[in-house]
Amino acid sequence: MTIQIRNVTTADLEELQKICRLTFAATFDQDNDPADLQKYLDEAYNIEVLRQELAQEQSAYFFALKDSQIVGYLKLNWGHAQSELDWPQALEIQRIYVHPEYQKQGIGQALFDFALKYAHDLACEGIWLGVWEHNKNALGFYRHLGFKQAGAHTFVLGNDRQTDLLMYRDI
């Protein structure tokens, strides 16, 4: 199985919105209020927000493709584009999601490996990300990759204030 990873451009906005909404909802719909989830999807993944994020310096989106199908995506931030500035010399994985039908096929690992190389190319000292404290599958995956909890912050899903654990690992 060959996974290709390519940069997302403004020509891809509708496909980006589609994979963002699909993967986020599939990951969190069972454990959250539907109204809060819908509010978040409408705010975080509307076309104008995604357009602004694509234009932001020190930030980039990437698609994972299998047989020319978009099966996952990654959003990376560095420098001043990071959502937290605790590790200025690190790369933030703000979003890493795999289509539910393609999970457990090495796509998440391929996206992480790409992020690791990207961080190395930027001469970053580490990689960090935030993960919901109740997302046990993701926590296990990140711990397997060598991440350790280094803090926490509030993530607002609709009107629900949740706790994300901040996970960090050296490169």
Positions annotated as catalytic residues are 142
Torsion angles phi and psi, residue 169, rounded to 5: -150, 145
Evaluate whether 110 touches 64 at the Cβ level (below 8 Å).
yes
Element (H, E) at 65: strand 59-66
Host H or E run for residue 153: strand 148-157
DSSP letters, 85-98, are -S-TTEEEEEEEEE
- Which neighbouring-strand residues pair with 85? none
Could you tell me if 89 and 126 are in contact, meaning their C-beta atoms sit under 8 angstroms apart? yes
